[in-house]
Each structure stands twice: as C-alpha cells, then as structure tokens.
Structure 1
Amino acid sequence: MTAIAKSSPRFSYPSTTLQKIAQDVLSQAKKLGATACETDISDGFGQNVTVRRGEVETIEYNRDKGLSVSVYIGQRRGNASTSDFSPQAVNDTVAAAISIAGHTAADDCAGLADAELLAREFPDLDLYFPWDLPVEQAIELAKTCEAAALEVDKRITNSEGASVYLNESQFVYANSLGFMGGYPASRHSISCAVIASQEDTMQRDYWYSVARNATDLEEADSIGRKAGMRTVARLGAKKIPTCEVPVLFEAPIASSLMGHFVKAISGGSLYRKSSFLLESIGKQVFAPHIQIREVPHLKRGLASQAFDDEGVATHERNIVENGVVQGYFLGSYSARKLGMRTTGNAGGNHNLILENGAGLDFPALLKEMGRGVLVTELLGQGVNPVTGDYSRGAAGFWVEGGEIQHAVEEITIAGNLKNMLLGISAAGNDVVVRGSKQCGSLLIDKMMVAGG
C-alpha cells in the first residue's frame, strides 16, 4: 500500500528523501522495541507580500520541514517531533518517543488504524499547482488590489493593506502496517482590508479569495472593490432596539454554524460527553430540507484527501439527510472509545457541502426574511459546546420589507444551536468556498437580537 505522488524541484527535498526518512523511522522504532509505529514527514515553503497605502510593508519567505513519530509498546503510546532531518536527529527523535511510551499508562483504545481500512486506491485529486510568482509581480498584484479598494469611495481614508500569499507543501505518511502515502499540495490567496471614515466614526471590512490554483482566485481588482464596497456600506451604522427576529448569516460566516455542528458530532467531543449533540445519529438535528454531504475526493478541493491522517481511506457519504444525522466524524481512537468504527476523519472533516437544492439567491433570501438582521461579522467566542447556548457580538444590516435599510453595530445575537439548526428556514446558493465547509447564506427563523 504505497503511493507517493511525483515530487517537485521547488521543494527542499525530493519525495524519495522523505520516503527514505520514513522507512528509517519505522526500522529504528522496531529495532528499539516498538510493536507499532507511524510517522508523518513534511516539507514546504511560502511567500507572503503585503502592500499598504501603495508601499511595500512586508515581504516574508519561509521554508519549513517537520517530522512527527508515534510509537506503541503494546498499548502505551509515545510521540516526539523534530525539524532536523539528519540521521542522528531522526534516531534521537524515535528514541525519545520510545522513552515517553515507556512512562505512559496503557490505553486499550490506542494503536494504529485497522489494517483493512487503510487506503488502497489513490485518485489524483489535482491538489498541487505551483505558482511561479516573482516578488515583483506579487507586489504589483497587491498594489492593484489595494488601489481598487481605495478608488471605491473618497471616504475610504486608510488601509490595513493587501496581501498576496502562496504556499506549497508535500508530505509522506507511513506506518508499520505497510502503508506509505503522500503528495504535494498548494494553497494560494489574495486579501485586502480598508478603513472608511464618516464624521467621527470609522468602519473596517475586508474580502479575500483562496484556491489551490492561482488561476481559480478571484481577480485582484475585484477583491479590492469588494473590500472597499463592504467597508463603505458599513458607514452610518445605527443601533437597534432589542427584538426577536429572523437572522440571515451571510455566506462567508454561515459556515461557522456548520463548524459548531461538526465539532459537536466529532469523536473527541462525543466520548468526552462535551457535546450538545450526544447520541444524535438518526435524530432530526437540522430543518428537514437540509442535506449535507462529505466529498473528500473533490478535484481541487481545499479539504480533499484520498486518506486521512492515519492512512484510512476516505469515502463520500451523507452526513445529514432530510435534516437527520447519518454519521459522526471519527478517527480510530475516538471510534474505539465509542465502540464504533473510524469514519476516515482523523485530522478533521473533508469537503463538507450543504446542498441548497433550489437554493435562493441573496436578494431572494432578503425577501424571504422580510424584516430582520443580516449578519456579516461575528465577534467573540460566546458558544457553549456542551449546552449549545449561543451568544455572540455581531455587526451587519437591518432589513425591512426585504431590503437593506442601514448598517447596524454593537448588537448581540443569541439562541441555542439546537434551535438554530432546526430553524434554518432557507439556504442560499451564494456559496463562497474558503475552506473545508461550504454553504451559502443561512436564514434562521428567529433569534434574540440585543441592541442598544
């Protein structure tokens, strides 16, 4: 079970070197008495250029590498890591892991993934796109982005800058069950944030785009214009009285609701009983029209993987059907703690897509809401993962008659995640892909909004 994608000369090490180090780790662990071992070895680099007010503010360039090894002596586990790939350092790291394992208590759930679940097929997921971007070109892109934002309105008086970031990395994961796999991947982005002033008030907003392939990024000037328009739209913000109304979460932040759901049905939260969704398989958690799929083999997906962090094969599956939970997110350890089987989610969820079916566009969502609050920014961390109680500072816009009336700020939105998920009355088709969770704007039927 070995599959290593072809390496690139852009990296510090060829993939064959990472494979050789992995083999050395496994051999040394066995020699020192480990009954099982797994290792992850990575190598990568990044470049980040930031321009502020038309001048270069920072140019950062980094090269990173790392090795992590976990050894098992029976069911006692030890872990150690290093950024030194020299033979002596590798041997010392394995020895350190062995020493740690010798001082830990046995855990009957510890160990490698079950051999029969390891990946045997390795589809090309199209995840690596080198971006040949000289610093001079990155600077010009950032300047274009920021200039577009500043030109939106004369009330935009300052800038937090525009940044152009590229990152490329590769890894090899191997274990003593005979599995070895790895591949290179890329992740690039362009962002911009500006500040607008009106009388004695100032507002800030931003926009960004992220993709595996730089050609899939939104145009730099478009990103800048959106950052500028969003910032200006927030001027003239007013306070509103406390009320109970529908709340529309704009797409870029609506995915945070999916994030709370994922955390609640992930193994660590479940076996520790620190979740508001314990024993939720087969139960109605979302509104009946909600469908959520996990699609790990999505081409160019920001969270696509042929195998998880333990080498377990990933598979497309339905997480939510007609609002009913069909499965959890489990790695081998948490699955054993729960008396279940891993779902191939060691390391987290893969591309999670909330399907909108005949989803409404954004203007239609506003019409559907009628009167309420459009939330475009969330502040603070007021979410209790055990009870589901939700209370966060927010900013956005007041909506009347299905039309945005004015910006609002200094509000708090509150509810309980159980009721919020069940109360999703509409999902939009305005999906903004920026990470592992994809959905359009989400309309919650009612929440408490505390104003000034």
Structure 2
Amino acid sequence: MNDIARNDDSQQRLDRLAEISQQLLARARALGASQAEVSCSEEHGLNVSVRMGEVETVEASNDRGIAVTVYVGQRKGSASTADLHEASLEATVEQACAIARYTEDDPAAGLADAALMARPQADGRFPDLDTWHPWRLHADEAIDLALACEAAGRQADARISNSDGASFGSGESLSVYANSHGFIGRERETQHSLGVALIAGQGEGMQRDGWYSIGLAREDLEAPAAIGRRAAERAAGRLAPRSVPTGQYPVLFAAEVARSLVGHLLGAVSGGALYRKASFLLDSMGTQLFPQWLRIDERPLLRHGLRSTWFDGDGVATADNPLVVDGVLQRYVLGSYSARRLGLETTANAGGVHNLQLSSNAGTLEEIMRGMGRGLLVTELMGQGVNGVTGDYSRGAAGFWIEDGTAAYAVDGLTIAGNLREMFARIEAVGSQPDLRSHVRTGPILVGEMTVAGAD
C-alpha cells in the first residue's frame, strides 16, 4: 500500500457528508416538507501556471457546498451554504422551506419516482468505477511539470518565438446526493491536466496554438515533453496561412473540434430546449437524422470514464443506453423534471450525459484526408454562430486546405456555414481514432458538403 492509499480519508469524509445530508433531510421533514433532496460536495485542487520559464500563479483550492431543495406539495424552494456549523445548516433548511411556501405550484416539481432510484450494494456503496486516483504532489513538483512542458515546446522548433504559458492542474471531488426516498449516493472523482500554448513566427505573421492532456489518473497524461512538442508542431504548422475561394467543399472536423457537433445535437435533444420549444429537433424522436451506419451510445458505467456514474443528479439508476441507432434518434436527454414537462419518462440524464461514444466507419485522419481528395480540415472553431431554434450554423474556422489527399497549406479567416440537420445527414465518415480528452468520444467527422467562405 502506498502513502497516498494509507493517508486517504476520502471514505470518512464522504460518510461525514452523508451524515450531514441525513440531518438536513430530517430537519426538512420536521418543518413540513413533503419531499426534500440534499447535495453536499467537497473539492480540493492545486493549479499552477508558468510562462517563459517563470512561475506566474500557484493556487490551492478548498471548496465546500451544501444545497437543500424542499418541496411543499408541488411548491419548490432551494437554499445553499458553505458553512457546516449547526446553526447555518438549520438556517439553510428553514430558508428553503420559507421560499417554497411563497412559490407557485409547479405540476412537474418533485423528486424522481422512488422506484427509479439506483440500488447500492449491501454496504450502502456502489461498485467502483475506477474514477478515484489522487495525486498528492507538492507545488514545486507541479511547477516542474509545467516548466518541462513549456521548455520542450519552445525548444522543439526554431520558429517558436514566444509562449502563452503552460499550466498544470490536479483536483479531487467528493459528493453526496440524498433524498427523502431514502436514497444516498456517494461519488469520488479525480482529474488531472497539463497543457501549453505557444506562439510561432514574428510580427503580424505570428500564429498561436497548443496542446493539452487530461485524465483521471496521472498515468493517463501524456509526457510533458510530448505535449510541448505537439503544441510546437501545431503552432508552427499554422504559419503563413492563406484563404480559399468561397464555394461548396467537403469539411473534415479534426477529432478535438468534431465533438462540438455532438454538443449541438445534445443541446437540441435536451429536455430544457424541448419543453421551451427552442430546438430545431422538436418532435424528432424516431426520425432519421444521420446516415444509417452511424450509432451513438451512452455508457455511464464505463470503467475509468471521464463521466461515469451509477446514478444521475436525481438519484435515478443509469444504464448503457443508445441515443442514435442506424442513424435514427432513439430518445431525448431528460431528467425527471423535463420528462414530466414533456409527458415522457426520465432517461437518467439529470445533470447531463455520461460517456457518449460514436461508431466509426473509417480509418485514421490521414486516411480520411486521402479519401476526400480536396477540401477543408478544420482544427479550430471560433465564434458562437449557431441558432439552436433553426439549426443554422455559421462559425469562424482555421485549419488546413487539403489537395490530393494531403495538407497543402494552412488556412485562416474562413467561415463555414450550413444547417445542422443537413450537416448531420451529410456525414460521410467518422474516424477510428477518438479524442479521449472528453466524455464525448468521437474521431474526426467528415461532412460531405458545406459552404466555405474565404476572406476575399
């Protein structure tokens, strides 16, 4: 057993948070709440940043939060505190109850159905999903990692002229969710990251790019030198960018930006957007949105996943659940509240989705480029020009122009435009090498045709 394991008191701290949650639920019942739920969390972290070989910031964080929501009939009240003293905790519950008595009835308000709650093991805990890997390093060790990452990037290419800095972060999160159904869920997670942004070239010809690595365990991170070299390669590769003639071209989204397309899908099929009628995918469940070969699966129980959990933000049990099968949208993304608003059943997505994975029908990025022949490879997106109601899409883009299946030169100052429903239908390929730095796992995505507008 190593020193970290011997000194790990996370389970005791979770037990303490669970005790607090039970005290607050009991107090809410005593004050007349018909239902109640409590979320307790503790977060500890270390973040450092360096630039040009000098330390810029060192920050240690210790945050705590207690949130209480009560229901008096179908009236809801919420209050929160970071103070664990008895008087403050009691005042928080009292405030939530007072707010509930003055709010309007909401027919959709209330806890998720008791029968849907996740069931823990006999000891009250859920099986380990391998999300807890603390890295208790000292500030000087964290600084050394960031300095090594930046130094490797600055030394990798003579065209690197400056740095926007490197940063390292390591954090631990403990959380307990409990409600008056008797449900108590404990979770503990860690996350570590290391990255650098570099500047290549001189004067008006300078270009900026970077790279980063993220993971639950220290072993998940790329080596500092590898991150620095990758950042230098990306920054130098963007020098001397050109524009391209406006026209209709195939557009290949590199994996690190391709997940934004999935994000737009998730926004459009989320319960909040749907019951507000603010989605271009209203009434789209059961319809063909993508090519027949494409599938998107949600895998909340994936071991060592960036967003793995046995229960959602309502305490509802999670399970592997497809979102898209044979190109057809199978369901929406709903918590219990939005499900009631829509007259549907929760999909255990209160708080968001967990570990989405896209199917692949193609090889590597380079193989897809060779197959497309001519078009645009997008490595960076800018702006927020996406209309969630109509699906109209228009964003600034930079990357590389593809000729004869290879990257011919860097491009910048472009705008790519289309409509998301049409873009989804025109997906021709999803690559086999997903970017694992997100809970949305997708390889590069090739859209067969979009409008690409140059600066001319």
8 Å CA contact retained: 2:362, 2:368: no
Deviations 1:77-118 (A, max 9, x none): 001111111111111111111111111100111000000000
User: Which residue of structure 1 aligns with residue 123 of structure 2?
Assistant: none
Counterpart position of 1:438: 441
Distance in 1 of aligned mates of 2:96 and 2:128: 33
Partner of 1:168: 172
What fraction of aligned residue pairs are identical, expressed as a percent?
49
Aligned to 2:280: 276
Q: Are residues 1:228 and 2:232 paired?
A: yes
How many Å apart are 1:8 and its aligned residue?
Answer: 6.9
3-state secondary structure, aligned to 1:390: strand
Instruction: Name the CA distance, whole Å, in 2 between partners of 1:42 and 1:109.
Output: 26
Corresponding residue to 2:267 among 240, 263, 268: 263
The residue number in structure 2 matching 1:370 is 373
Give the C-alpha shift of residue 13 in structure 1.
7.2
CA distance in 2 between counterparts of 1:315 and 1:380 reads 35
Matched with 2:61 is 62
Equivalent position amino acid for 1:301 in 2:
G
Shift of 1:198: 4.3
Rounded Cα–Cα distance in structure 1 between residues aligned with 2:239 and 2:405: 20
- After superposition, the C-alpha distances for 1:15-68 in whole angstroms (9 at most, x for unaligned) are 221111101110110111100000000011110111211111111110000001
Aligned to 1:355: 359
Question: Deviation at 1:219?
Answer: 1.1
Alignment CA distance shift 1:243-1:291 (3 Å): same
Partners of 1:188 and 1:451 in 2: CA distance = 39
Aligned to 1:310: 314
Give the Cα separation in 2 of the matches to 1:271 and 1:114.
Answer: 20
Tell me the C-alpha RMSD between the 2 structures. Answer: 1.5
Q: Which residue of 2 aligns with 1:296?
A: 300
Whether 2:140 is the aligned partner of 1:136: answer yes
Residues 32-111 of structure 1 aligned to structure 2 (within 5 Å) = 32-111=31-110
Task: Identify if the C-alpha distance between structure 1 residues 169 and 7 changes in structure 2 by more than 3 Å, giving closer, same or farther.
Answer: farther
CA contact (8 A) 1:354 1:439 kept: yes
1:380 to 355, 378, 383: 383
CA separation in 2, counterparts of 1:135 and 1:158?
Answer: 25
Q: Structure 2, unaligned stretches of length 5 or more? A: 121-125
- Tell me how far 1:151 sits from its aligned partner: 1.2
1:195-236 Cα shifts (integer Å, max 9, x gaps): 011463110001111111111111111111110100000001
> In the TM superposition, what are the counterparts of 1:174-185 in structure 2 within 5 Å?
174-185=178-189
Does residue 187 of structure 1 match 2:191?
yes
CA distance 1:333–1:7, change in 2 (3 Å) = farther
1:434 and 1:261 map into 2 onto residues whose CA distance is: 19
- Structure 1's unaligned 5+ residue stretches are 1-5
SS at match of 1:397: strand
1:218 counterpart = 2:222: yes
How does the TM-score come out when normalised to structure 1?
0.96
2:325 to 318, 321, 333: 321
Pick from 337, 340, 350 the counterpart of residue 333 of structure 1.
337
Q: C-alpha deviations, 1:297-354, integer Å up to 9, x for none?
A: 1111011111001100000011111110111110001001111110100000000000
8 A Cα contact 2:245 2:454, kept in partner: yes
Of residues 190, 193, 200, the one that matches 1:196 is 200
Contact 1:8–1:14 (8 Å) recurs in 2: no
Instruction: Report the counterpart of residue 115 of structure 1 in structure 2.
Output: 114
Partner of 1:447 in structure 2? 450
Whole-angstrom distance in 2 between the partners of 1:96 and 1:22: 16
CA deviation after TM superposition for structure 1 residue 153, in Å: 1.3
How far apart, in 2, do the equivalents of 1:418 and 1:368 lie?
A: 24
Shift of 1:123: 2.5
Distance 2:208 2:7 in 1: 40
Work out which of the residue numbers 126, 132, 147 in structure 1 matches 2:130.
126
Of the three residues 123, 142, 154, the one matched with 1:150 is 154
Cα offsets for 1:342-378 (capped at 9, x unmatched): 010000000000021x431111110122111100000
- Indicate the residue corresponding to 1:3 in structure 2: none
Q: Which secondary structure state, in structure 2, belongs to the residue aligned with residue 276 of structure 1?
A: coil
Give the distance between the partners of 2:7 and 2:384, measured in 1 at CA: 41
Kindly indicate whether the alpha-carbon contact (under 8 Å) linking 1:11 and 1:44 is maintained by their aligned counterparts in 2. Answer: no
| 133 and 164 in structure 1: CA distance in 2 versus 1, 3 angstrom threshold | same
Secondary structure at 2:348 match in 1: coil
- 2:413 paired residue number: 410
- Residue identity matched to 1:326: Q
Q: Which residue of 1 aligns with 2:403?
A: 400
In structure 2, do the counterparts of structure 1 residues 132 and 272 end up closer, same or farther at CA, with 3 Å as the change threshold?
same
Deviations along 1:148-171, whole A, 9 cap, x unmatched?
111121111110111111000101
Q: Secondary structure at the match of 2:166?
A: strand
Q: What is the rounded CA distance, in whole Å, between the counterparts of 2:12 and 2:43 in structure 1?
A: 9
Query: Structure 1 pair 133/59, CA: closer, same or farther in 2 (3 Å)?
Result: same
Output the CA distance in 2 between the equivalents of 1:12 and 1:87: 22
Q: Distance in 2 between matches of 1:22 and 1:359?
A: 49
- Shift >2 Å, 4+ stretches: 6-13
